[in-house]
Amino acid sequence: MTWWKEAVFYQIYPRSFNDSDGDGVGDIQGIVEKVDYIDGLGVDAVWLNPVYESPQVDYGYDVSDYQAIHDEYGTMEDWEELLDALHDRDIRLVMDLVANHTSDEHTWFLRSRDSDEEYEDYYIWREGEETEGEEGVEHVPPNNWESAFGGSAWKYDAGRGEHYLHLFHEKQPDLNWSNPDVRDEVVEVVDWWLEKGVDGFRMDVINLLSKPDDLPDGSPESDWVGSEHFVDGPKIHEYVGELHERAFEPHDAVTVAEMPDLTPDEAERYTDDGVDIVIPFEHMELDRGDAVDWYTTDVDLVELKQVFSRWQEADCWTCLYWSNHDQPRAVSRFGDEEYRVESAKMLATVSFTLRGTPFVYQGEEIGMTNPGFESFDEIRDTGTLERAKTAMADIGIKGFENVRDIVNYWTRDNARTPMQWNSDEGAGFSEEEPWIKLNSDYENVNVEAAREDDGSVLSYYRELVDARHENPVLVYGDYELLLEDHPEVYVYERSLSEGGDEEDAESDRMLVMVNFFDGEPRFSLPDSYDGTLDEVVVSSYGVADEADASTEFELRPYEARVYRVR
Ligand code: NOJ
């Protein structure tokens, strides 16, 4: 039993949370101003997206100094004030560790590019072939790997006369983890922050650290060409285990590992390496369509239930989430904007009642939706722009209007519009033009309005946080899926035996039922539930708190209920 299993995390994307100094960009003092709000949610920990010095090409995931705070966000003193303010309220702070790559403006890279002896091997440099092309000499990359943002994962550097690897933007060169000096540097950085009082790290794309020395070509059919070589690469468990032993374990720090393409089997191995919480992606990729590798298809609930069930049974501890700064807004994607409140509550019910640790992404607790972008000029995310550019060139289309729906469905900017605090112009986020457009629904969807409404998504989140804190069965209980083939409802039981496994052991049981769609599905529970549903613990439609004698149910659109089972 540990704190991070029992905790609820709140994720803050600092750029879009609250602007204290009127430059249209969120900042650390802005978060300090809202610490009582965060405390009021009842959450136990904050995961803060990167606030380190950075050219902000990938909004902080391109770090140019791991031990300094980015100017727009404030100073180290501001950060210390935030840490104290959170700790004063018993809220832990988890920072983001971006260790697969740095910015190309980091001094390590600048020196590596200059072939400075000490830094020469800090990054992954390789010679490529040269060919004579129409426009003179062309540099052919060392292999066919692709960047997650589209295009080759290699960039030729004329100064050094070699290509460097970048699995993300070309301004995010990959560090060379096979160099022990690089590993020492990262341990030092982590240690430095933990000494300052940080409680743990969310580790960015941490399963991509190890690349095979011979850098073989990847299958051209793959969704991400090269990934079979760099996802869970040859020495990954050695590196992750070493980080754990040298950096995290001495401080008893929590680690939350972001790992694309993670399977439950690999997750178990990472857990053996010392990782605490894994972030699976499988449930977020069921709507991946074929067309230009973007996300387009409807989610099949039966398949989604299978995915969740597989992870529930795996020997690891997962982060439970429907949204974060890289994903569209959950209500728009998995729920229904027509039933905004109902579907936001339904999704939250699932997150808070599965086995794992719920992560709430800022704005989710008020049911924020995708804003709808009208042109590429409104898009701020380099990842979206790069991917769209590459995909459009591949299939030979031009113009935003031809990709409007798909971009609006998928872009990460959906999650990055400013937090909606009130109905003032600027939604209480900033008095200036924000760095990214506001969702036009802010006059109705905002914290102030939600606070005054008992039926709001926000009030419901408060109930869920309490339910989670008060019922160990929701944290530690076993999971059993019911009605696995029902296409519209997700029903499962959580049960926790107390007092050992003897016959007289007391068992705490809860039954969760949610309607994932806008219909009114009927279903019956197995006969064994006859007369056992004792009390309604949480109900999104405010069902009376009384026993339900029947086993026949009909749920309203997106309705969610949690019963205590006798
Ligand atoms: C995952 C982060 O969440 C995302 O925002 C970033 O672009 C990539 N890793 C690269 O750091």
Q: Tell whether 172 is covered by a domain.
A: no
What pLDDT band is residue 499 in, cutting at 50, 70 and 90?
Answer: low
Please tell me the predicted confidence (pLDDT) of residue 504. 57
Ligand 1 centroid from CA 387, angstroms? 14
CATH of the domain at 152: 3.90.400.10
On the question of pLDDT at 198 being above 60, the answer is yes
Please tell me the predicted confidence (pLDDT) of residue 295. 63
> Model pTM?
0.97
Residues 282 and 361 in one domain: yes
The 10 Å CB-count burial string (b at 16+, else e) for 310-342 is ebbebebbbbbbbbbbbbbbbbbbbbbeebbbb
The stretch 386-395 carries a mean pLDDT of 88
Q: Tell whether 481 is covered by a domain.
A: yes
pLDDT tens per residue, range 414-472: 999 999 999 999 999 999 999 999 999 999 999 999 999 999 999 999 999 999 999 99
Residue of the nearest CA to atom 5 in ligand 1? Answer: 326
Residues 160 and 50 in one domain: no
Ligand 1 centroid from CA 205, angstroms? 7
Q: Find out whether the beta carbon of 98 lies less than 6 Å from any atom of ligand 1.
A: yes
On the question of pLDDT at 530 being above 70, the answer is yes
CATH of the domain at 495: 2.60.40.1180
The CA-CA-CA angle for residues 25, 50, 93, to 5°, reads: 105
pLDDT, mean over the chain: 95
Ranges of H-type helices in 314-421: 330-333, 340-353, 382-395, 404-410
DSSP state of 168: S
Q: Atom of ligand 1 at shortest distance to CA of 324? A: 3
Ligand 1 centroid from CA 412, angstroms? 10
Residues 561 and 452 in one domain: no
R_g over Cα of the chain: 24
Ligand 1 centroid from CA 204, angstroms? 6
Looking up tokens 């019911």 gives: 482
Q: Tell whether 419 is covered by a domain.
A: no
CATH of the domain at 343: 3.20.20.80
Tell me the residue range of the domain where 548 lies.
475-565
What pLDDT band is residue 116 in, cutting at 50, 70 and 90?
Answer: very high
Q: Tell whether 242 is covered by a domain.
A: yes
Q: Tell whether 155 is covered by a domain.
A: yes
Q: Find out whether the beta carbon of 61 lies less than 6 Å from any atom of ligand 1.
A: yes
Residue of the nearest CA to atom 6 in ligand 1? Answer: 61
Q: Find out whether the beta carbon of 204 lies less than 6 Å from any atom of ligand 1.
A: yes
Indicate the top mutation candidate among 168, 209, 281 to test ligand 1's pocket, ranked by most ligand atoms within 8 A of CB: 168
Ligand 1 centroid from CA 59, angstroms? 9
Please tell me the predicted confidence (pLDDT) of residue 500. 58
Indicate the top mutation candidate among 63, 205, 227 to test ligand 1's pocket, ranked by most ligand atoms within 8 A of CB: 205
CA distance 68 to 53: 5
Residues 352 and 448 in one domain: yes
Residue of the nearest CA to atom 11 in ligand 1? Answer: 61
The stretch 212-222 carries a mean pLDDT of 96
Residue of the nearest CA to atom 4 in ligand 1? Answer: 326
Ligand 1 centroid from CA 556, angstroms? 38
Number of domains in the chain: 4
What pLDDT band is residue 549 in, cutting at 50, 70 and 90?
Answer: confident
Q: Which has more confidence, 395 or 32?
A: 32
Q: Find out whether the beta carbon of 284 lies less than 6 Å from any atom of ligand 1.
A: no
DSSP state of 222: S
Q: Tell whether 262 is covered by a domain.
A: yes
Indicate the top mutation candidate among 52, 56, 58, 94 to test ligand 1's pocket, ranked by most ligand atoms within 8 A of CB: 58
Residues 236 and 366 in one domain: yes
Give the alpha-carbon dihedral of 540, 544, 547, 549, to 10 degrees: -90
Q: What are the CA-CA distances from residue 293 to residues 150, 249, 287 (Å)?
A: 10, 39, 11
Residue of the nearest CA to atom 3 in ligand 1? Answer: 326
Q: Find out whether the beta carbon of 326 lies less than 6 Å from any atom of ligand 1.
A: yes
Q: Find out whether the beta carbon of 83 lies less than 6 Å from any atom of ligand 1.
A: no
Q: Find out whether the beta carbon of 93 lies less than 6 Å from any atom of ligand 1.
A: no
Residues 346 and 447 in one domain: yes
Q: Where among 431, 458, 485 does a domain terminate?
A: 458
pLDDT tens per residue, range 254-282: 999 999 999 999 999 999 999 999 999 99
Q: Atom of ligand 1 at shortest distance to CA of 98? A: 11
Q: Tell whether 281 is covered by a domain.
A: yes
- Residue in 14, 38, 390 with CA at minimum distance from that of residue 224: 390
Q: Find out whether the beta carbon of 167 lies less than 6 Å from any atom of ligand 1.
A: no
Q: Are 322 and 330 in contact (CB under 8 A)?
A: yes
Residues 191 and 144 in one domain: no
The encoded tokens of residue 141 equal 């990359």
Percent of the chain surpassing pLDDT 90: 89
Report the SS3 class of residue 182: helix
Indicate the top mutation candidate among 49, 52, 61 to test ligand 1's pocket, ranked by most ligand atoms within 8 A of CB: 61
DSSP state of 245: I
Residues 97 and 205 in one domain: yes
Q: Find out whether the beta carbon of 336 lies less than 6 Å from any atom of ligand 1.
A: no
Q: Are 510 and 473 in contact (CB under 8 A)?
A: yes
- Residue in 177, 199, 195 with CA at minimum distance from that of residue 243: 177
Q: Find out whether the beta carbon of 58 lies less than 6 Å from any atom of ligand 1.
A: yes
Ligand 1 centroid from CA 550, angstroms? 48
Q: Tell whether 175 is covered by a domain.
A: no
Q: Find out whether the beta carbon of 473 lies less than 6 Å from any atom of ligand 1.
A: no
Residues 498 and 543 in one domain: yes
Q: Find out whether the beta carbon of 205 lies less than 6 Å from any atom of ligand 1.
A: yes
Q: Find out whether the beta carbon of 490 lies less than 6 Å from any atom of ligand 1.
A: no
Ranges of H-type helices in 22-67: 28-33, 35-41
Q: Find out whether the beta carbon of 361 lies less than 6 Å from any atom of ligand 1.
A: no
Q: Find out whether the beta carbon of 413 lies less than 6 Å from any atom of ligand 1.
A: no
Residues 69 and 204 in one domain: yes
Q: Atom of ligand 1 at shortest distance to CA of 101? A: 11
pLDDT tens per residue, range 286-327: 887 654 456 667 789 999 999 999 999 999 999 999 999 999
On the question of pLDDT at 73 being above 70, the answer is yes
> What is the set of active-site residues?
204, 258
Residues 404 and 450 in one domain: no
pLDDT tens per residue, range 127-156: 989 999 888 899 999 999 999 998 999 999
On the question of pLDDT at 360 being above 90, the answer is yes
Q: Atom of ligand 1 at shortest distance to CA of 149? A: 7
Residues 363 and 254 in one domain: yes
Q: Where among 140, 165, 190 does a domain terminate?
A: 165
The stretch 65-83 carries a mean pLDDT of 98
Q: Atom of ligand 1 at shortest distance to CA of 61? A: 11
- Measured in whole angstroms, the distance separating CA 317 from the mean position of its chain's CA atoms is 15
